[in-house]
């Protein structure tokens, strides 16, 4: 019997011991539980925003949490493929009333501890050995893979229902009872909505490999699986899973548009898969922040060159765990009990193989896939829908679980040969060894999570307006700490207005292109990298007026600066420019500067000629390669049939002269320039393969105008691009 009063007391004790271990391992987190978060950077802030957004969407906006226009305003964001754990948001709502960090940290600790407890229950069911089962829970809960994912990936912190699903799925096969179909379905739904879709895919693969193993190698279980009763129970499990999860599955299915899937596929390309997969060496190298190995001269450099990604490629098994797993194989073979460990060895092999990604490497990131041994993931990559699982290294969760079970068997087999208190001594020694080896990620990185008071005041201001907080574009190369990426999401939980820009683990180019329409967003991004405000753009004009026009177009009421995201010199430049454009800031603190836009917009917008690009103009410098690039090509902005320029003209400036430099790639062609209509040809010019200067007069209508530049697609550089243009100016006459 899995549950009962005696069992509940046993499980409570195990839970408390794991909780005590977690408290000892994460002292900084425990002492700042309501004001700091475990981890750093955008994923942590996104995790807290996810918890808040689910409740805000369902209970305040009365809408699905799978789409929002509160971020990346006005285009919004489809959150189906994001790392949202909707049910976790609802369950933590009472804790959010204390603070979002409190809710987040509680979810992290509970996820770690319950992962240990439920693995303990699974391992005890399989082995009947309490000490070995405790070690199994310790391995799964505190493995480096689990802890590093907890530094930002809340959906992979709460993995507790993975072992519970496995337990009930085994019982469903062996006993073929309706209640186990129900329990398995509940576990699956909880994994998907307290974790995410990737967890659901992982469980489906685990179930698939279990069935395959039994069908191939276990006669008695094969008979159970092929029975009519199991078919009925299995169908019941599938139906119950969909029915119980329908509040989430139905809006998910409705929101999976072709554009979403195509974007996911680009994010799940082979290069991405390689980036987020393990190497063979990553299973055997303790992470370099382990106090023992990290103190060795040169080990940090060696480790970083041996793995692909310092977070997603963490796969260290631990030599204590490896010893116990190998012992289970050795003794099971000697005792002729291989059937007991067979399924877990089978699963371990396949999930290790999957986690190595499309191409198997000993270490490092390959410069070419030529000569590399293809991995199982190369086949998996081509399975529709399932290939949204773009990080092969996360298959390690199944790997660690299977190795934990093997370790429990290994300890059981070894301890059976010991007498007296030697079993207890061996148990204590392995507990200590495992914790020392897994200590690598037990030094938590804690980020203070305090929202400036001004954002609470902004919430109270009536009217519909949006917010822009700089930096608004993700910058992974800035010298400034990247831990401030995404903090604007956390601030939004206070001001609750639409945010121009934002942060998402799976941002697409459309969202970023909208943000890039506002020059100050790009200027602030360049500032972080170059130390100067720069806006590479084919149109030359007063960017202050373009900024104000775009801020008005996006209905931006306030512009904020995250001070710590810039060094002192860069911050001074940025704040001074905003002061010259918007006037005095309305709020300043040691973390935030906020400017209001209303007066500057009122006094300027609609009184000046403003022009901006429309469509996918591509800067030449982004196309340059070591083989083909020169200054002319690099300075051009490239387009094809057709690209546009939006022009706003006030009533007193409708007659303008447009000057520009243009060329055609690899030959000659003509360009038709149309104004506001396909019937209104302003001028046709001949383009050569060399840059030439052109001029034309335009009679604009007051307000917005659209200029279309049209060329035939006879010769192209790449992606259909064929003409380049730069140095565009508009002057009234």
**DSSP three-state, residue 201:** helix
Here the tokens at position 600 are 């500057």
Per-residue model confidence (pLDDT) at position 255 = 65
Per-residue model confidence (pLDDT) at position 567 = 87
Per-residue model confidence (pLDDT) at position 443 = 46
**How many CA atoms lie less than 13 Å away from 491 in the CB half-sphere?**
28
Phi, psi of 484 (to 5 degrees): -90, -5
User: Whole-angstrom Cα distance, residue 363 to residue 304?
Assistant: 10
Phi, psi of 108 (to 5 degrees): -65, -50
The residues of the chain scoring below 70 in pLDDT are 1-4, 28, 39-41, 255-268, 289, 440-446, 476-483, 507-509, 625-629, 713-719
Per-residue model confidence (pLDDT) at position 542 = 85
Residue (of 401, 350, 490) closest to 164 by Cα position: 401
Report how far apart, in Å, the C-alpha atoms of 44 and of each of 38, 108, 399, 464, 642 are.
8, 11, 25, 28, 41
> What would the DSSP string read from start to end of 72-125?
STTT-EE-TTS---HHHHHHTHHHHTT-HHHHHHHHHHHHHHHHHHHHHHHHHH
Q: What is the 3-state secondary structure (H, E, C) of 601-661?
A: HHHHCCCCCEEEEECCCEEHHHCCCCCCCCHHHHHCEEECCCEEEEEEECCCCCEEEEEEE
**DSSP three-state, residue 731:** strand
Per-residue model confidence (pLDDT) at position 275 = 81
pTM across the whole model: 0.88
Strands 446-448 and 36-38: antiparallel
Tens of pLDDT, residues 109-166:
999 999 999 999 999 999 999 999 999 999 999 998 888 887 778 888 899 999 999 9
Question: Residue 539 gets which letter from DSSP?
Answer: B
Burial of 299 (0-12, 13-18, 19+ CB in 10 A): middle
Q: What is the 3-state secondary structure (H, E, C) of 154-189?
A: HHHHCCCHHHHHHHHHHHHHHHCCHHHHHHHHHHHH
Give the bridge partners for 669, in sequence order.
Answer: 687
Per-residue model confidence (pLDDT) at position 427 = 94
User: Whole-angstrom Cα distance, residue 267 to residue 341?
Assistant: 37
Question: 301-318: string of b/e by CB count within 10 Å (b at 16+)?
Answer: eebeebbbbebbbbbbbb
Per-residue model confidence (pLDDT) at position 445 = 61
């Amino acid at each position: 019997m899995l549950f009962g009063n005696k069992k509940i007391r046993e499980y409570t004790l195990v839970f408390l011991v794991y909780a005590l271990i977690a408290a000892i391992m994460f002292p900084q987190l425990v002492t700042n539980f309501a004001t700091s978060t475990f981890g750093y950077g955008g994923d942590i802030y996104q995790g807290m925003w996810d918890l808040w957004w689910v409740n805000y969407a369902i209970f305040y906006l009365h809408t699905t949490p799978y789409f929002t226009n509160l971020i990346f305003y006005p285009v919004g964001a489809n959150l189906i493929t994001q790392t949202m754990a909707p049910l976790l948001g609802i369950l933590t709502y009472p804790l959010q009333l204390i603070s979002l960090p409190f809710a987040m940290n509680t979810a992290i600790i509970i996820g770690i501890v319950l992962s240990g407890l439920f693995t303990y229950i699974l391992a005890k069911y399989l082995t009947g050995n309490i000490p070995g089962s405790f070690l199994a829970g310790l391995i799964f809960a505190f493995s480096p893979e689990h802890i590093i994912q907890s530094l930002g990936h809340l959906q992979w912190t709460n993995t507790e229902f993975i072992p519970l699903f496995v337990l009930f799925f085994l019982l469903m096969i062996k006993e073929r009872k309706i209640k186990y179909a129900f329990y398995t379905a509940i576990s699956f739904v909880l994994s998907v909505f307290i974790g995410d879709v990737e967890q659901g895919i992982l469980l489906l693969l685990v179930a698939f490999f279990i069935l395959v193993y039994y069908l191939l190698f276990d006669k008695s279980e094969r008979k159970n699986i092929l029975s009519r009763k199991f078919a009925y129970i299995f169908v019941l499990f599938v139906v119950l899973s969909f029915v119980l999860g329908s509040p989430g599955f139905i809006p998910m299915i409705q929101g999976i548009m072709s554009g979403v899937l195509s974007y996911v596929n680009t994010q799940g390309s082979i290069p991405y898969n390689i980036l987020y997969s393990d190497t063979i060496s990553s299973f055997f190298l303790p992470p370099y922040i382990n106090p023992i190995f990290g103190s060795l001269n040169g080990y940090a450099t060696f480790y970083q060159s041996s793995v692909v990604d310092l977070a997603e490629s963490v796969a260290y098994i631990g030599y204590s765990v490896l010893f116990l797993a190998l012992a289970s194989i050795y003794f099971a073979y000697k005792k002729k009990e291989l059937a007991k460990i067979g399924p877990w060895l089978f699963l371990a092999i396949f999930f290790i193989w999957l986690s190595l990604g499309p191409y198997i490497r000993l270490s490092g990131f390959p410069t070419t896939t030529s000569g590399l041994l293809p991995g199982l993931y190369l086949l998996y990559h081509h399975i529709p829908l399932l290939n949204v699982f773009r990080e092969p290294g996360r298959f390690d969760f199944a790997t660690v679980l299977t190795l934990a079970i093997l370790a429990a068997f290994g300890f059981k087999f070894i301890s059976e040969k010991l007498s007296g208190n030697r079993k207890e001594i061996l148990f204590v020694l392995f507990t200590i060894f495992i914790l020392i080896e897994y200590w690598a990620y037990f030094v938590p990185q804690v980020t203070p999570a305090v929202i400036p008071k001004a954002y609470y005041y902004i919430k109270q201001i009536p009217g519909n307006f949006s917010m822009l907080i700089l930096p608004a574009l993700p910058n992974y190369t800035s010298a400034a700490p990247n831990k401030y990426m995404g903090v604007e999401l956390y601030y939004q939980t206070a001001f609750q207005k639409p945010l121009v820009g934002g942060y998402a683990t799976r941002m697409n180019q459309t969202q970023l292109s909208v943000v890039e329409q506002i020059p100050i967003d790009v200027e602030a991004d360049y500032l972080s990298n170059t130390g100067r405000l720069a806006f590479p753009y084919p149109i030359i004009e007063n960017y202050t007026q373009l900024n104000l026009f775009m801020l008005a177009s996006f209905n931006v009421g306030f512009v904020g600066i995250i001070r710590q995201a810039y060094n002192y010199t860069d911050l001074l430049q940025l704040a001074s420019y905003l002061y010259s454009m918007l006037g005095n800031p309305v709020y300043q603190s040691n973390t935030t500067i906020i400017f209001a836009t209303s007066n500057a917009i009122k006094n300027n917008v609609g009184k000046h000629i403003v022009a901006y690009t429309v469509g996918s103009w591509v800067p030449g410098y982004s196309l340059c390669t070591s083989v083909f690039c020169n200054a002319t090509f690099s300075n051009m902005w490239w387009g094809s049939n057709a690209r546009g320029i939006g022009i706003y003209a006030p009533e007193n400036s409708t007659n303008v002269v447009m000057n520009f430099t243009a060329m055609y790639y690899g030959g000659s062609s003509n360009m038709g320039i149309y104004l506001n209509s396909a019937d209104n040809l302003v001028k046709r010019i001949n383009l050569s393969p060399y840059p030439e200067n052109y001029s034309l007069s335009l009679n604009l209508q007051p307000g917005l105008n659209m200029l279309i530049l049209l060329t035939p697609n006879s010769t192209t550089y790449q992606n259909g691009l064929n003409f380049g243009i730069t140095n565009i100016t508009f002057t009234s006459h």
